[in-house]
Every structure is written in C-alpha cells, then in structure tokens.
Chains A and B, each alone.
Chain A
Amino acid sequence: MDVGTALIAQSHRVDLSLSTAIVWALWLFVGFAGVFPGIVAYMVWLERKVAARFQDRIGPNRVGPFGLLQPIADAIKLIIKESIVPRPADGLIHLIAPVLVLVSAFLSLAVVPFAVGLAPIDPPSGLVYLIAVSSVGPLGIFLAGWSSRNKYSLLGAMRAVAQLVSYEIPQVLSTIPVALWAGSLSLVTIFDHQATFGWNAFNPPGFLAFVIFLIAGAAEVNRTPFDIPEAESEIIAGYHTEYSGMRFGLFFLAEYLSVFVVGCVATVLFLGGGAPLPFSAFPRNLIDGSLGGLVAANAILLTVFLLKVLLFIFVMFWVRATLPRMRIDRLMNFAWKYLVPLCLLNILLAAAWFEVVVRPGRVVASRWATGMIVLGMLTAGAVQLVFRVNRRLAAAAPIDADWPTVGSRAARAGR
C-alpha cells in the first residue's frame, strides 16, 4: 500500500521549498489555468455532439474539422458580446455572483488525486474541504438571482438553492461510508485504500452509496432531470436570465467544471481512481523507485482515470438526452424522503461492512463472501424498506400518491 510513497511522496505535510513552489506553479498555470478549462471547453463540444447524435443530428461541424474549433469560436463570441446589466440590478453583487460560483468549482478540484503523487494538495480533511468549497456555489446562485431584480431570476434562484441544499445532504452522507472504510478523510488515503480492498462501488453498501452519490451529484450540477433551476421553458432561464455575454459564460464554465469535478470525485471515491482493475494493485506495482516505473504507472492511472471521468460525463449527457425534467415537489420528496433515510441506513450498513471485511486489514475471501451475501441482502432490504414505507405513506396522502407509481401495487390496482 505504501508503494505510492516511493518517489513522489504525497504527504499531508508540505514545506515551502523551491520544489514545492515549482510543482504548485505547474499545477496552477498548466493545470488550473490551462488543462482544466480546456477539458471543460471540449466537454461542451462533446455534449453538443452527443446530444446531436441522440437527436439524429450531426451537431457542430462548421468551425474546423468535426467542429473542433467550436469552443474557441464560442469563447470569442462571448467576449465580443455586450454585457447587459439591468438598470435596477445591484451591480457589484451581480458581478460577484458568477465569480463566486466559478471559484467554488475551481477550488474543489484542488484535492482530487489524479494518479499517484498527482494531487495538487492532500490535506488530512480533504473530503470536508471538498464538500465545504463546493457548498459555496448555492450562495453565488442565490446572489445572482437576487441581484438581478427579476422575478424569474429570484424565483429560479430560490428554487435552485432549495434543490441544491436538499441534494447536498444525500451527496455528503453518501461519502461517509467511503471515509469510514479508509479511516481517513484524505482523498489520497481513500484512493490507496481501494487498491487493497477493491473499488468501493463493488460492495453492497458502497454500491448504494455510489448510486446515491451519482443521483445527488447530477442534481448538484443542475443536470437533467434535475435542471429545475434553469428550466428555460418555465422561468426563462432561472437565476441567469439577466446574465449575458461573458458573465453568462462564467456560469456556463462553472457548470461544466462542476460536472467534471463530480465525475472526478465519483471516480476517486467509488471507482478506485485510475486503477484499471477492481481488485488489483496493478499499475502501482510498476512503481519500484525508478523514474520509468513511476511514469509508466502514472500514465496508465491517468489514462484510465480520464476514461472513467469521460464515462461519467457521457452518462450525464445520455441522461439529459433521455429524461424529461422532474417536477419540483417530486424532486424535493425524492431527496428528503428517499435518499436521506437511505443514506442514514447505509451508514450503519457501512459500519457492518467495515466490521466484517475491512477490520482484519486485508481481504479474507471467506469474510468477503459472507459480507457480500449478508450485506447484499441487508442493503436490498433497506432499499425495499424505504420504498415501501414511502409508498404506503404516499398512498395515504393523495397529493404525493402519483410518485412513484411504476410497478407499485396501488397503481396497478388503480388503473
């Protein structure tokens, strides 16, 4: 497990030496100012291509080969457009709001371990840091809506914040099992832990947590079916109605950056980071102290990591192309009545999994099998319990009764 410390020791402690300064400068100016925005720009291109294919269109193909220069054209367009600020708006806050949202998305990338030794920083409470900085985003969204002095904006912002804070709770709670198994809040330790115990998504409580994290993550970044905040057919564009030109561009950038962040975090927390195989320390055992070994291992890790993130991003695009928008009452119900109770139960299940499998310190086949069977049944039972209780309660209250009807006995009897 300590192979990662061979050459580049990623440690909680850093010193302000010249080498640190060089590494940080590289991260800041190559990573955060270059590569990440680039990735985000091409995510937009990819989304347009993917969405086009789903709708039997070709998508952007005019600017450059396959429309590859489209993001650059978009950026130029946004820059040479006039920024219109409505007269009654609170000018300063109108300016601060998109900056706040973008800063929150940027800061949350600082703790993601992309490969061994390739995390900008690794504070001991990295997970809390991650959640904390990403929780600043809703405040920016509220300020955007409030400062615009537009009823649709304010309404959209209030709805957006209500949704974001509701889904933040299940998102945060679903990361507790992961921290519990790794015994640490450092993302690097969580990443290392999965080299020994298999990917976190590959055990019953972990799988449940993974699914909840994905759903809540999609809601956190306002993707369909959770895009009520910017429901353009209902409230124009929600909180960014009064944003035009580059100021709108900042929101746009922040949104796609958050999609990237959610993909990265899900990969690190649940899919073993860049590891290509679930139960093997494969590319890490290439690290033998030599530079070549480290480079080879990190090349594999980084490639697989980005592929996994790409998969997440693609799934989000796919979902967007497939599902309609959820109604807001169902949306809030789903967060508080389904996901939160499930998360609370799942924490206890995660503790049980820890006792059965993780406590011995290495994977013992018999205990692992016992854990898979017993906890698999318990987890399925927990899901059943929450859904059944909800259906029974919903049937008693007519206003909730139409959710979820698919497959429920009441619905079949009623039709």
Chain B
Amino acid sequence: MVAYNYVFVGLLLLLAIGFALAPLALVALVAPRKKSPTKAEVYECGVRTHGETWVRFRVQYYIYAIMFVVFDVETVFLYPWAAAYGSLGWFALVEMTAFLALLFAGLAYAWAKGVLRWA
C-alpha cells in the first residue's frame, strides 16, 4: 500500500526526535549545572534587559506572511497540474496561464502599492 510509506516516515520521526533528545539527556547527566541569577538573565550584550521583549512588529511582516500563504496555496495547485500536464494538453496550459496571471496581478498590486518595500 502507498500509505505504508508513511510508516517509515513515522519511524523516522521517532528516530529524529530520539536523535535530538538523546544528547540532551546525556547533557543532563554529564554537564555541570551551576545556577546563578546572573547567568539566567537574558543576554542582550551585557546590558540589563529593559522592558517587554514582545514589541509590536511592523505590518510588513504580516504582508509577507500573507503573500507566502497565497503563493504556497498556489504551489499546491501547481504541483498536480505539473504532474498531470502531459496527459492534458493545451487547455490545461490556458487554464494555468489564467491562474498565474491572476496571482501575478495580486503580486503586482502589492508591488504597485509599495508594500513590498522593506523600509
């Protein structure tokens, strides 16, 4: 069965987690642990940390994330199209061109409105 491939993925997932946690467990056994209030401070170049860490980030970040989601969804449409293209022909090309043109229009709009500028 095709789905059995993912049994391997599951095993690999467990192995990878184990591979990451094993040295950490070893560290817990071997490494020294000397707590001190100064050491547990946040390291900001030796200057005592000031105020809240969680500052409000610029909206640009969100725009990039939105564009990322949009184009990511697009790629999920593109992959099956690419796989099926050989058995579909010109109609599929026209459809995909329209689809890409739509998305490019979105990108161009963002571009024209200047939100792609990291200032």
List A residues at the B interface (Cβ < 8 Å): 12-16, 20, 24, 27-28, 32-33, 37, 78-89, 95, 98-99, 102-103, 106-107, 110, 120-125, 127-129, 131, 135, 148-152, 154, 158, 162, 165-166, 168-169, 172-173, 176-177, 179-180, 183-185, 236, 241-242, 245-247, 249-250, 328-329, 332-333, 336-337, 340-341, 344, 347-348, 351, 354, 358-359, 393, 397, 399-400
Q: Give the shortest distance, in Å, between A76 (CB) and chain B (any CB).
A: 9
Q: Is the CB–CB distance between B4 and A329 below 8 Å?
A: no
- Residues in B with CB closer than 8 Å to A340 are 71, 107
**A242: which of B9, B26, B42 is its contact (CB, 8 Å)?**
B42
- 1/0 contact string of B4-47 vs chain A (CB within 8 Å): 11111101110111011101101110111110010111111100
Interface of A is mostly: helix
**B117: which of A102, A329, A354 is its contact (CB, 8 Å)?**
A329
Q: Give the shortest distance, in Å, between A219 (CB) and chain B (any CB).
A: 14
Q: Give the shortest distance, in Å, between A268 (CB) and chain B (any CB).
A: 16
Interface centre among B30, B55, B68, B72 (most CB of A within 10 A): B68
Docked Cα-Cα span, A122 to B57, in Å, equals 42
Q: Is the CB–CB distance between B111 and A337 below 8 Å?
A: yes
Answer whether A241 and B43 are a contact pair too, CB < 8 Å, given A166-B68, A176-B82.
yes
Docked Cα-Cα span, A179 to B82, in Å, equals 6
- 1/0 contact string of B53-80 vs chain A (CB within 8 Å): 1110100010011011001100110110
Q: Is the CB–CB distance between A107 and B67 below 8 Å?
A: no
- Residues in A with CB closer than 8 Å to B53 are 88, 149-151, 154
Number of B residues contacting the other chain (C-beta, 8 Å)? 70
Docked Cα-Cα span, A166 to B68, in Å, equals 7
Q: Is the CB–CB distance between A107 and B13 below 8 Å?
A: yes
Docked Cα-Cα span, A172 to B40, in Å, equals 41
**A123: which of B5, B19, B39, B82 is its contact (CB, 8 Å)?**
B5
Q: Give the shortest distance, in Å, between A137 (CB) and chain B (any CB).
A: 13
Docked Cα-Cα span, A329 to B119, in Å, equals 7
Docked Cα-Cα span, A247 to B20, in Å, equals 9
Query: 4 smallest A-B Cβ distances: which pairs?
Result: A329-B118, A106-B16, A87-B40, A180-B82
Closest residue of chain B to A183 (Cβ to Cβ) is B86
Return 10 A-B CB contacts under 8 Å, by A number.
Answer: A14-B8, A85-B40, A89-B42, A120-B8, A131-B75, A172-B75, A176-B79, A183-B84, A250-B23, A351-B85
**A106: which of B12, B26, B117 is its contact (CB, 8 Å)?**
B12
**A169: which of B13, B34, B71 is its contact (CB, 8 Å)?**
B71
User: Given A24-B8, A336-B116, A354-B86, list of 18 further CB < 8 A pairs?
Assistant: A16-B7, A28-B15, A79-B27, A82-B33, A83-B31, A84-B40, A89-B42, A110-B8, A151-B44, A173-B71, A183-B85, A246-B23, A246-B24, A246-B26, A249-B23, A333-B117, A336-B111, A400-B117
- Residues in B with CB closer than 8 Å to A242 are 42-43
**B24: which of A13, A83, A129, A183 is its contact (CB, 8 Å)?**
A83
Q: Give the shortest distance, in Å, between A26 (CB) and chain B (any CB).
A: 12
Q: Give the shortest distance, in Å, between B18 (CB) and chain A (any CB).
A: 9
Docked Cα-Cα span, A37 to B43, in Å, equals 30
Q: Give the shortest distance, in Å, between A167 (CB) and chain B (any CB).
A: 10
Docked Cα-Cα span, A348 to B92, in Å, equals 11
Q: Give the shortest distance, in Å, between A368 (CB) and chain B (any CB).
A: 17
Q: Give the shortest distance, in Å, between A52 (CB) and chain B (any CB).
A: 27
- Residues in A with CB closer than 8 Å to B100 are 344, 347-348
